[in-house]
Amino acid sequence: MGFLSNKKLVIVGAAGAIGSTMAQLAAVKGLTNNIMLYDPYLKGLEGVYEELRHCGFDGVNFEFTDNVEKALTGASFIISSGGAPRKEGMTREDLLKGNAQIAADFGDNVKKYCPNCEHIVVIFNPADVTGLVVLVKSGLKPNQVTTLAGLDSTRLQSELAKYFDCPQYDVTGCATLGGHGEKMVPVTSDVKVKGKALAEYNIPAADFEDIKQKTIQGGSNIINLRGRSSNLSPAYVSIEMIEAAMGGKKFTMPAGCFVKDGMYGYKNVCMAMKSVFDANGVSYVEANLSADERKALDASYEHLCKMRDEVISMGVLPAIEDWKKYNENL
C-alpha cells in the first residue's frame, strides 16, 4: 500500500467516537504508515487499537498510549478531538470553560514535546476558542493551526440539496464563515445549484431562513436523532483537512484560522474564513459578501471576541498584549 507520508500522525481523543473514526479513515486513505493513538482512557483506547488491528490494514503501524509525552514526541501532524463532547440541550459555547483549559494544557504539551509539529487541526468545541488557545500556547505559526469549520459548509450544501431535491454534488460554492456556533454565517454569493447561481432561483425569504437555521442547528439535530453528538462527519472533514496539510488534495472549504491583519477590521481571533489550505498550511482570502452577510459576520466576530475575552478573564489565556511572550509568531 502506498502512503502519502511516513511522518507521525497523532490522533488525540482516539478512544472516542470521532477519534477512532479518524484513525480508521487515516488508514483507509493511506495518509501515513505511522499513526499514534492517544487518550487518557486507556482501556477504551486499547479496544480501538485492537479493532484497528483487526481491520488488517496493509503496512500501517498503529501505536497507542495514555502517556502524553510518548504520544506527542516526534509528531508532525496532530488532530485533536480531546475535549468534552456536546450533549442534548447544550450549545457549543456551553463547553467553553472546561475545554478551554484542556486546550491550554494541550498547547503547552505541544510546545514541550513536539515544537516542530507541522500542523494541528483542532476540532473540539467551541473550536474557534480552543483553536486560538492551542495556537497561543503551542508557539506554532498561525498557518500551522486550523479548526473545524468546513463541516458547517457541507451542512449548508446538504440542506440546499434537500430543498432542491437534487444530488448533493450538484450544489457547489457553499461556505459558512465566522464562528463555529450559533453565530455562524451561511454565505451564498458563490453558490450554484446544477450550474445555475442560487440567486437566480429567487428562494422565498422564509424558506432560506429555514435552510440557514437547519444548517446552524445541524449538529443539534444529530444529537436529537442519535442521542449523542456527531462523529462521522467531523471525522471525515478533519481527515480531509490534515490530508491537505500532509501534501495531499487541497482543502477547498472554509477553515477556521487565526485572523490578525485586520481584514474586515477583524484581528486576534480564530474564525472560519474563505481560505487556501495545502501543504503550506492555511491562509485566508477575502470573500464575496452581501451587505447582510457582512453585517452578520461582524456580529459573529464580536461574539468570538467576547468568548475570547471571557477565556482571558478566566486566566486560561493571557492578555492579548502578552501573547508574544508565549508565541513569538503572533
Pairing label, strands 192-193, 171-172: antiparallel
The pLDDT mean for the chain works out to 94
Give tens-digit pLDDT for 35-56. 999 999 999 999 999 999 999 9
Q: What is the mean pLDDT of residues 178-204?
A: 94
- pLDDT band, very low/low/confident/very high, at 89 (cuts 50, 70, 90): low
Residue type, 13: G
Specify the pLDDT at position 85.
59
Distance CA(162)–CA(81), nearest Å, equals 29
Kindly state the cell numbers that stand for 13.
481523543
pLDDT at 88: 58
Query: Which residues make Cβ contacts (< 8 Å) with residue 326, sequence separation at least 6?
Result: 136, 137, 139, 318
Closest C-alpha among 326, 266, 259 to residue 301: 266
Q: What is the pLDDT of residue 261?
A: 79
Of the candidates 98, 122, 91, 324, the residue with the CA atom closest to the CA atom of residue 219 = 91
pLDDT of residue 97: 77
Q: Give residue 185's pLDDT band: very low, low, confident or very high (50, 70, 90).
A: very high
Are 91 and 44 in contact by the 8 Å Cβ rule? The answer is: no
Length of the chain: 330
Radius of gyration of the chain (CA): 19
Task: Decide if pLDDT at 94 tops 70.
Answer: no
**pLDDT tens-digit readout, 262-271:** 889 999 999 9
The three-class DSSP label of residue 30 is coil
Does 182 score more than 60 pLDDT? Answer: yes
Residue 188 has pLDDT above 80, yes or no: yes
Domains of the chain, each with CATH number or no CATH:
9-148 (3.40.50.720), 150-239+242-307 (3.90.110.10)
pTM of the model: 0.95
The answer on pLDDT for 304 being more than 70 is yes
Q: What is the pLDDT, as a whole number, of residue 146?
A: 98
